Amino acid sequence: MKTIRRLIVPVTERWNEGEQDWSFVKDPSHDIRIWEKTNGMRLPDGYRRFMLAFNGGCVYPRLFFYAVPLEYYPSTEPVTFVDLFYSWSDVRKYSRGDVYGRGNPPDMLFIGSTPGGLQILMSLRAEEFGQIFCWVHNTNIWGTDGNDHIWYQASSFENFLKSLYDEPDRSDYDNWRIPIYDKLAKPLAF
């Protein structure tokens, strides 16, 4: 079995305006330290190292089997892909409720998304700290009108990354890659 080379490319605030290189990725270390001090907790180690190394990004491989029941998130099979892992500024924006308001599941960091309606969350609750969950995004107030469940996905950020895969024909790579990635892609090591 061939080993997949795990890669990451940058996400910048103004990618479509020409910010298409790692030099435009903001260093989140100061903002992460402030968040940790303010909240009295340290980010889970693997995710913290990932953010300090890359501040989010688009990873390859990116396919995963999601745990959300098909009646909540219909498709022909329970497979989707990570569109991107958010930069720290976007993690904060989503997690504060700037996007979904009072619909946010409590005590969760929004760390990424799929191209459909799934948000990838990391738990900040003591009993499941650092575990990864999926949530079908919703603007209904949390706990009402069907907005009351998240689905366990992985025991840690690192294990979630390990669960990402490509098809044997490398079709996910072909869909992920654009020519500029040839010079931008870095090994997903942190």
- Mean pLDDT for the stretch of residues 84-88: 97
Q: Give me the percent of the chain exceeding a pLDDT of 70.
A: 99
Q: Once rounded to an integer, what is the mean pLDDT over residues 88-100?
A: 94
Joined together, the tokens standing for residue 96 give 């504060």
CB 144 within 8 A of CB 130: no
The pLDDT tens digits for 66-78 are: 999 999 998 899 9
Residue 127 and residue 146: Cα distance in Å, rounded? Answer: 24
pLDDT for res 1:
54
Residue 21's nearest CA partner among 189, 184, 186, 190 is: 184
**DSSP string covering 118-184:** EEEEEE-SGGGTT-EEEEE---SPTTBTTB---EEEESSHHHHHHH-B--TT-HHHHHH--TTHHHH
Q: Which two tokens stand for residue 15?
A: 């990618």
Q: List the strands of the sheet with 7-9, edge to edge.
A: 58-60, 7-9, 186-187
Return the domain boundaries, the chain.
Answer: 7-187
Per residue in 120-164, pLDDT tens?
Answer: 999 999 999 999 999 999 889 998 998 999 999 999 999 999 999
User: Where does the pLDDT of residue 19 fall: very low under 50, low under 70, confident under 90, or very high at 90 and above?
Assistant: confident
- Phi and psi at 41, nearest 5°, equal -150, 155
Domain 7-187 is classified in which CATH homologous superfamily? SMI1/KNR4-like (3.40.1580.10)
